[in-house]
């Protein structure tokens, strides 16, 4: 349907964002089986465990393409390369690699040499140029509407316009503000080849997010989110969009303390107050004080349901929106109303 679907072998031009503590094997597999681009978050996973998780996804994905996601800024370039070297031999031929921020030259080269499409998320036009120079075949352009850590300062529509005019033939997906098929059709009409969505999938039945995190995303509207730099322990110097909570509302910094415990590979890890870690299903403690990354698209994110149903709904909405746009060129009927915000 678009260059993105053709390039990655998808049925719908939609990628699910890799999301630490949220996008484990279950979500990735369900999204991919439903025809979109499921993605496994490797975040800080040790290389051996990352390889194990990839094998689990590959065995369950029924041949559908899926992605693995790395964050060089969090792991550091050496660990990122180790993660890639561990997982690349486990990836099926049709799998792709998504990188949050620019990959180092050797990481990019390693992915390309293994024959997998390199998908790089950027937030500025300059980084878009660099990512293409390093061999990215898909750019994900992240706007400031997005949930999670922010790579730039431009809203998605203007970033897309800038990068599209500089790179008329590049395969571009947008990230930020996508929760419905209408949103996706809008992005494609503005010159994107597709989109990446994160917040949309946080409440999915297969997401590993903590139930309280899911509930808050479903109930939230865009105005309940804000950009802050508060949750910097473990990932400093990168502003992020989160749901407001008692820490974001406080006038003064609260004392340093461990506020929760999370399990990684069966082992408990203490979570300090102001940690970048998001609450997952195995986290216990003061969940409300943790970083709940959430984009402005939450206004249009509804009750938790299996990811396959969400993808089916988006596919229907997208096809209807595309068809009515095509019709509106030839008839005088008005376009259908947009889906109402909550
Ligand atoms: C809960 C959450 C966790 C995220 N974690 C990651 C991550 O581990 N790796 C990554 O590449 N992007 C991550 N992101 C950012 C996404 O890649 C993407 O920019 C964002 O989800 C798009 O905006 P949206 O959430 O409004 O759809 C995360 C986003 C959210 C909401």
Structure tokens at 282: 């195995």
73 domain residue, yes or no: yes
Q: What is the number of structural domains in the chain?
A: 2
211-219: Cβ within 8 A, 24+ apart: 211/281, 212/279, 212/287, 212/288, 213/278, 213/279, 213/287, 213/290, 213/292, 214/304, 216/243, 216/292, 216/294, 217/243, 217/292, 217/294, 217/298, 217/301, 218/298, 218/301, 218/302, 218/303, 218/304
- The answer to whether residue 232 sits within a structural domain is yes
d(CA 255, CA 302): 35
Confidence tier at 329 by pLDDT (50, 70, 90) = low
Does this model's pTM top 0.85? My answer is yes
Q: Which domain holds residue 256?
A: 211-297
Given a cut of 60, whether residue 40 has pLDDT beyond it is: yes
- Mutation to probe ligand 1, out of 41, 143, 144, 146 (largest number of atoms < 8 A from CB): 146
Residue 78 lies in a domain: yes
Task: Assess if residue 334 is contained within a domain.
Answer: no
Torsion of CA 105, 111, 115, 117, to 10 degrees: -90
Q: Is residue 81 part of a domain?
A: yes
Q: Which residues are CB-neighbours of 265 under 8 A, at least 6 positions away? A: 46, 49
**Interval between CA 198 and ligand 1 midpoint (Å):** 5
Longest dimension (CA), the chain: 63
How far is C-alpha 28 from the chain's CA centre?
11
pLDDT over 50 at 104, yes or no = yes
Looking at the structure, tell me whether residues 306 and 261 fall in a common domain: no
Residue linked to tokens 């660990």 = 79
Q: What is the pLDDT of residues 136-186, one digit of tens each?
A: 999 999 999 999 999 999 999 999 999 999 999 999 999 999 999 999 999
In a domain? residue 336: no
The verdict on 237 and 285 lying in the same domain is yes
The per-residue pLDDT for 330 is 59
Indicate if ligand 1 lies below 6 Å from the C-beta of 295.
yes
Tell me the CA–centroid distance for residue 16 and ligand 1, in Å.
Answer: 9
Q: If you average pLDDT over every residue of the chain, what do you get? A: 95
| pLDDT band per the 50, 70, 90 thresholds, residue 116 | very high
CATH number at residue 116: 3.20.20.70
How much distance in Å is there from the Cα of 17 to the middle of ligand 1?
A: 5
Give the separation between CA 23 and CA 32, rounded to whole angstroms.
12
Q: Is the pLDDT of residue 334 over 50?
A: no
Structural domain includes residue 338 = no
Question: Domain check: are 46 and 63 in the same one?
Answer: yes
Domain co-membership, 152 together with 260: no
Ligand 1 in reach of 20 Cβ (< 6 A): yes
pLDDT (average), residues 262-273: 91
Determine whether the shortest distance from the Cβ of 97 to ligand 1 is under 6 A: no
- Of 27-41, 86-100, 122-136, 257-271, the least confident: 257-271
| pLDDT of 1 higher than 90 | no
226 and 94 in a single domain? The answer is no
Is 333 a residue whose pLDDT tops 50? Answer: no
Answer yes or no: is 337 within a domain: no
Roughly what angle, to the nearest 10 degrees, separates helices 307-328 and 181-189? 50
Please tell me whether residues 17 and 139 are part of one structural domain. Answer: yes
**pLDDT at 341 > cutoff 60:** no
Looking at the chain, the whole-number percentage of residues with pLDDT higher than 70 is: 96
């Amino acid at each position: 349907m678009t260059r993105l679907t053709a390039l990655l072998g998808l049925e719908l031009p939609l990628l699910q964002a890799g999301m630490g503590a949220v996008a484990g094997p279950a979500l990735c597999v369900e999204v991919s089986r439903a025809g979109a681009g499921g993605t496994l978050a490797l975040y800080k996973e040790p290389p051996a465990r990352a390889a194990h998780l990839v094998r689990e996804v590959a065995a369950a994905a029924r041949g559908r393409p899926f992605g693995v996601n790395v964050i060089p800024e969090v792991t550091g370039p050496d660990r990122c390369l180790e993660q890639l070297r561990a997982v690349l031999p486990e990836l099926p031929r049709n799998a792709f690699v998504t990188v949050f921020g620019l990959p180092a030259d050797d990481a990019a080269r390693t992915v390309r040499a293994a024959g997998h499409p390199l998908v790089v998320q950027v937030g500025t036009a300059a980084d878009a140029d660099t990512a293409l120079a390093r061999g990215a075949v898909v750019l994900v352009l992240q706007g400031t509407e997005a949930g999670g850590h922010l790579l730039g300062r431009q809203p998605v529509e203007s970033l897309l316009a800038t990068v599209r005019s500089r790179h008329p033939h590049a395969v571009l997906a947008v990230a930020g503000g996508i929760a419905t098929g209408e949103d996706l059709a809008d992005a494609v009409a503005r010159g994107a080849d597709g989109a990446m969505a994160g917040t949309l999938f946080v409440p999915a039945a297969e997401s590993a997010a903590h139930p309280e995190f899911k509930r808050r995303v479903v109930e939230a509207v865009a105005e309940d989110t804000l950009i802050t730099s508060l949750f910097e322990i473990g990932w400093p110097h990168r502003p992020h969009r989160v749901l407001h909570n008692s820490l974001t509302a406080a006038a003064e910094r609260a004392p340093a303390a461990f506020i929760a415990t999370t399990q990684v590979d069966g082992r408990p890890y203490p979570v300090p107050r102001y940690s970048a870690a998001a609450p997952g299903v195995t986290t216990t403690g003061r969940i409300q004080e943790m970083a709940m990354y959430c984009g402005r698209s939450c206004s249009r994110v509804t009750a938790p349901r299996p990811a396959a149903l969400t993808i089916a709904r988006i596919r229907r909405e997208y096809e209807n929106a595309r068809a009515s746009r095509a019709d509106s060129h030839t008839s005088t009927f008005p376009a259908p109303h947009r889906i109402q915000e909550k």
